Amino acid sequence: MIIIMLGAPGTGKGTVAGLLEGKLGYKQVSTGDIFRKNIQEGTELGKLADSYISKGNLVPDDVTIKIVQDRLNQPDVQNGIILDGFPRTVAQAEALDNILANKGKKIDMVLNLTTPEEEIIERIVSRRVCPNPQCKTVYNVVMNPPKKEGICDKCGNELVQRKDDNEETIKSRIATYMEQTSPLVEYYKNQGVLRTEEVSQKINRLGKDVANDIERDIKNQK
């Protein structure tokens, strides 16, 4: 099973992907996590990625495609994968189709999450994440705070705010998404694999509700 997460920053892609990983056993692979790890370690890839990410821009296709292609060859994703943050352009989507075709595989579902922009901004500014690579739990100091302020419930690490989680960068990232990534909605709609779900406090529908519905539908298909 190959699932792709689509949606503007702050729609809850990582949260839903993490929930589905726990429910279905498919490995969540986030290109953002891969880039952040390299940035933290100061690798050449990390420096290159940071020069784009810090300005709210996308990392160039050729760099991102190479990273994902290498990741798809690793043994822990052979039974299922949830791609979070890739593809982000039609060129990346076409490259992914070719990579999977060479493996005799195809995309099973593209889950497109939507959220009103004002909610996205509020959600991201309030977001805190666990820096432990084995945990990566995401909190929101308003909607989903940790039990102890600033401390991860699961592993006890001190929570951090990503340096790009500020209003100016968020607006830039949303604009970039609308320009470069939203055409993927039409691309996958034409392939017949798109499923759009709204995640919003206004309709009282959260990421966990979407994950529960996806889990039910996938298990009913088996």
CB 90 within 8 A of CB 97: no
User: From the candidates 13, 36, 123, 136, which is the catalytic residue?
Assistant: 13
Each of the 222 residues of the chain gets a pLDDT tens digit; together they read 999 999 988 898 888 998 999 999 999 988 877 787 788 888 887 888 888 888 877 788 888 888 888 888 889 998 899 999 889 889 999 999 999 999 999 999 999 999 999 999 988 899 999 999 888 888 989 878 999 999 999 999 999 998 888 888 889 988 988 888 889 999 999 999 999 999 998 899 988 999 999 999 988 886
Write down the pLDDT at residue 222: 67
Range 182-185, long-range pairs (CB < 8 A, 24+ positions): 183/89, 183/90, 184/6, 184/87, 184/88, 184/89, 184/90, 184/93, 184/110, 185/6, 185/112
In angstroms, rounded to a whole number, what is the distance separating the alpha carbons of residues 118 and 143?
15
Respond yes or no: is residue 127 known to be catalytic: yes
Write down the pLDDT at residue 179: 86
Respond yes or no: is residue 195 known to be catalytic: no
User: From the candidates 37, 71, 105, 162, which is the catalytic residue?
Assistant: 162
pLDDT averaged over the chain?
A: 89
**Amino acid (1-letter code) at residue 166:** N
Domains of the chain (ranges; CATH) run 2-115+181-221 (3.40.50.300)
Write down the pLDDT at residue 48: 84
Write down the pLDDT at residue 188: 97
Q: What is the CA radius of gyration of the chain?
A: 17
CB 113 within 8 A of CB 13: yes
User: From the candidates 36, 123, 128, 173, which is the catalytic residue?
Assistant: 173
In angstroms, rounded to a whole number, what is the distance separating the alpha carbons of residues 55 and 171?
11
Write down the pLDDT at residue 136: 86
Write down the pLDDT at residue 81: 93
Residue position matching structure tokens 């977001």:
127
Respond yes or no: is residue 27 known to be catalytic: no
Respond yes or no: is residue 216 known to be catalytic: no
Write down the pLDDT at residue 157: 96
Phi then psi for 103, rounded to 5 degrees? -100, 0
In angstroms, rounded to a whole number, what is the distance separating the alpha carbons of residues 72 and 75?
8
Write down the pLDDT at residue 34: 78
Respond yes or no: is residue 128 known to be catalytic: no
Task: Determine the length of the chain.
Answer: 222
The DSSP code sequence of 105-146 is ----EEEEEE--HHHHHHHHHTEEE---TTT--EEETTTB--
In angstroms, rounded to a whole number, what is the distance separating the alpha carbons of residues 133 and 35?
12
